[in-house]
Amino acid sequence: MYYWDPSIAPSGMAFYTGNLFPAWKGNLFVGALNGVQLVRLVLDGEQVVAEEKLLNKDYDRFRDVREGPDGALYVMTDSPNARIIRITPAP
């Protein structure tokens, strides 16, 4: 169990199982409507052991997050400038 106080207003979430980001395998990604951020939660079994805030500036609110068949993460932002952001490793 994990929570934020104040709430980040969690929206979509996805467990990462791909191979594009080996260090992220088994991590949980949570989109946030409040705070405009994508949060990576590092898990050890069923316990959250670390939290990292990603993409927390220059975007609209994050509505959903999914892992694509290519192993990339896809994040959908909220209106009025809705868009899909593809997250891949830096070159």
Query: How many Å apart are CA 18 and CA 44, to the nearest integer?
Result: 18
On the question of pLDDT at 72 being above 90, the answer is yes
What's the average model confidence in pLDDT over 42-57? 90
As a whole number, the mean pLDDT across the chain is: 91
Would you tell me which CATH number, out of the four given (2.40.10, 3.60.21, 1.10.287, 2.60.40), belongs to the domain 10-87? Answer: 2.40.10
Instruction: Determine contact, residues 63/88, Cβ cutoff 8 Å.
Output: no
What pLDDT does 16 receive? 97
Residues near 64 by beta carbon (within 8 Å), at least 6 away in sequence: 11, 12, 31, 75, 76
Sorted by where each begins, the domain ranges of the chain are 10-87
What pLDDT does 48 receive? 97
Which amino acid makes up residue 21?
A: F
pTM: 0.90
Percent of the chain with pLDDT over 70: 97
